[in-house]
Amino acid sequence: MKRIRLLIEYNGTDYVGWQRQKNGRSIQQEIENCLEKIFKKKIILYVAGRTDSGVHALGQVAHFDVLDEKIQINKLHFAINDILKKENNTITILESKIEDKLFHSRFSAKKKTYLYRILNRKTRSHLLKNRVWFLPANLDLKKMKESSELLVGKHNFNAFRSVHCQAETSIRSIKKITMKKKENIIDIRVSGKSFLHNQVRIIVGTLINVGKGKWDEKKICEILKSKDRKEAGETAPSCGLYLEKIFY
């Protein structure tokens, strides 16, 4: 038995998310269909982190097991990409390689970094459609950075998770949050071992309220203490979110 690891990039705009669903095309389904054509058998993918509809990935990781095959595993991604292209997918397999049998794409991960991109100017960009959150408002990046530091560390993030989140506990640890603006693009990176459903997007929506001057920095502590989703900011649009990198 061989355990194969895939490094995956995708534009999630036209998909219902990573997970296979009945109501539309998923990233998982499209890749598994390709693997079934190549190996002539049903293949199940195990992923590092599920992404929602419209969310993108620069470095998603998934693995699967197959019996010993004559296929050159280090060239497998080329074969998958050929099939994906024929089906008009916006998915690219960047790498395929054999892993240790103890490796697990989700449970072996030590840290994940999500990138959230904001287009902060007065006019829209058709070139960046569905790839950023367009915000024409004036934002105080310094206050946003100062507020984000209050979220770093181990906290109860119940106010920062979707009402549909099924995690047993809302205790999570954020290792780092960084913000950088280059020309009209604001990049917000959030790193941690694991995240609640919509946690990063709610964090971004909350920090935007600080940047607009609607809230001061103290509001972050109040939101955390409340443990109430209604107290936090809006859930930022999925189009600006990227699963950037998984660290093992």
Which 8-state DSSP code applies to residue 9?
Answer: E
82 is catalytic: no
- Amino acid at position 11, single letter: N
Per the listing, tokens 């287009």 go with 119
Catalytic residue among 14, 52, 68, 216: 52
The token duo for 171 is 């205790």
**Euclidean distance between CA atoms 28 and 111, whole angstroms:** 22
For 11-108, strand residue ranges (E) read 46-47, 56-66, 91-99
Contact, 45 vs 28, CB < 8 A? yes
- In this structure, the number of other CB atoms found within 10 A of the CB of residue 213 comes to 12
Say how many residues make up the chain.
248
The closest alpha carbon to 232, from 213, 207, 196, belongs to 207
Distances (CA, A) of 185 to 132, 135, 136: 9, 10, 11
Measured distance CA(123)–CA(223) in Å, rounded: 32
Those residues with Cβ within 8 angstroms of residue 39's Cβ, 6 or more apart along the chain or in another chain: 66, 69, 71
Asked if 12 and 54 count as a contact pair (C-beta separation under 8 A), the reply is: yes
Active site residues: 52
